Structure 1
């Protein structure tokens, strides 16, 4: 996807609000109206992933990075932290229904999107990539 936006925020509670607001701005910039039916779920997913990073990774990752990528007909985003634990999205549903990652996976699947965890090259962090079906303008 040819367009990228990167947001670095400190691993503290205010990061959630900043990430949600930035997500709204990026969606509008790439042509997705805020009334699109998937915007609410996407904002919830962003908030949940950033909240999880703040709660569980702040000691190892004082900064959280949210990356947005978009292009003609496509939109994706990732939340990255430097905590070494690598969650398994497929296993999240069976082990902790209703928990943060399980909720993210469930909502993303209901939207018809994908969840992928990509480990950092050094194994000391990861990015959780979400690709929801959002049809931005070309």
Structure 2
């Protein structure tokens, strides 16, 4: 559902499905949503995806209400689980950024991905 919604958002914003950043963005999104469902479900019944775009930029965030904030860049050198490392490596290889932002109440977080278009 998250991938389909993202494809619809991109189409509505005039971003071609053939753009070279779209398939990687969908893979990154899928991995982040899967991580939230697998690891945050105990404390977070819902996962939310937020989208933003600007000139030459597409950004999205996956939000859950689990307080743990994974160290994104440490994941690249870790031998445990490869999903988050793949997200960071792919994001960086596209010239993008990945940031974890905690909720103001400390009980949740969003992982923001920004990719150039």
- Tell me if TM exceeds 0.5: yes
Is the CA contact (8 Å cut-off) linking 1:83 and 1:124 kept in structure 2? yes
Of stretches 93-102 and 117-126 in structure 1, the one that deviates more from structure 2 is: 93-102
Indicate the RMSD between aligned Cα atoms, in angstroms. Answer: 1.2
Is the CA contact (8 Å cut-off) linking 1:67 and 1:79 kept in structure 2? yes
Higher relative contact order (CA 8 A, sep 6+): 1
Is the CA contact (8 Å cut-off) linking 1:79 and 1:129 kept in structure 2? yes
Partner of 1:11: none
Partner of 2:91: 108
**Structure 2: tracts of 5 or more residues without a match:** none
Alignment match of 1:94 (pick from 70, 73, 77): 77
Partner of 1:20: 3
Is the CA contact (8 Å cut-off) linking 1:108 and 1:130 kept in structure 2? yes
Partner of 1:67: 50
* CA shift digits 1:18-48 (9 cap, x unpaired): 1000110111111110001111100000100
Change (3 A) 1:98 1:112: farther
